[in-house]
Structure 1
Amino acid sequence: MWNLLRDLGTRLLRDLTGSSRERQELLAAQIRLNERETEHAPSSVLRLWRSFLGWVLALLFCWEVPVRLLLLPLLAPDLLDDLPPPALDQILSLLAGMLGLPF
């Protein structure tokens, strides 16, 4: 019984994650894309824009979730009326896209 469940779990996990050969092909394609992207661009600019964008999006996410949604209603509810509308949807879609996650 336990062997059957282990085999079923192994097969299900393999089907969900793909084979190691498919994963290696995807990684090789990503490496080729990264090399091609950095081929003709100044190294300092192209290397840093993703990091900069990631930090900005992470800071915006930290503003939107813990500060705006949790702390401001508790500590300063009168400030909520003066703030612009939340941009959490846009921030999450950009951040998820940068991380390679579907959103």
Structure 2
Amino acid sequence: MWPLLGKLLDGAAGRLARVLPDRGRQNEAQSRVNEVEAGGAPASRLRLWRSFLGWILSLLFAWEVVGRLIVIPLFFAGWERSLPPSALNQIMTLLLGMLGLGF
């Protein structure tokens, strides 16, 4: 009786293994596909544009946080001109969206 039960369980495990995908094998296959696609991709100007936009947005963010809040009050306290309104909300929206963290 026990050998028969063992054979039935082995058969069920084999069928279950055929139905359920092997995640490790899928990840390896996807990695190979990604490498082939990235290796054959032509040089794109879009990469340069994204890099440029990322640097500009990062510099604007640094200005809004460091420049407006720290540098201007310390060094230009008696300055009679007023600065334009802060654009930190718009900069953060664009920068977080570019990083994939926008909402």
Q: Normalization by structure 2: what TM-score?
A: 0.54
Shift of 1:81: 4.0
2:52 aligned residue: 52
C-alpha distance after superposition, 1:39-77 (max 9, x if no partner): 8xx823x12110000000000011110111112112212
After TM superposition, the runs of 4+ consecutive aligned structure 1 residues lying more than 6 A away are none
The one-letter amino acid of 2:97's match is G
Q: Distance in 2 between matches of 1:90 and 1:68?
A: 15
Q: 1:80 to 1:64 in 2, by over 3 A?
A: farther
Alpha-carbon distance in structure 1 between the residues aligned to 2:80 and 2:47: 38
Give distance in 1, aligned partners of 2:79 and 2:92: 24
Secondary structure of the structure 2 residue equivalent to 1:77: coil
Matched residues in 2 for 1:80 and 1:54: separation? Answer: 33
Q: Which has the larger radius of gyration?
A: 2
What letter is aligned with 1:72? Answer: I
Q: Is the 8 A contact 1:72 1:80 kept in 2?
A: no
Matches within 5 A, 1:41-80: 43-44=44-45, 46-79=46-79
Are the structure 2 counterparts of residues 43 and 102 from structure 1 closer, same or farther at C-alpha, using a change threshold of 3 Å? Answer: closer
**In the alignment, is the contact (CA less than 8 A) between 1:64 and 1:86 conserved in 2?**
yes
Q: Equivalent residue of 2:90, what SS?
A: helix
Aligned-pair identity in percent equals: 53
Residues 61 and 88 in structure 1, CA contact (< 8 A), matched pair in contact too: yes
**Structure 1 residue runs without a partner (length 5+):** 1-19
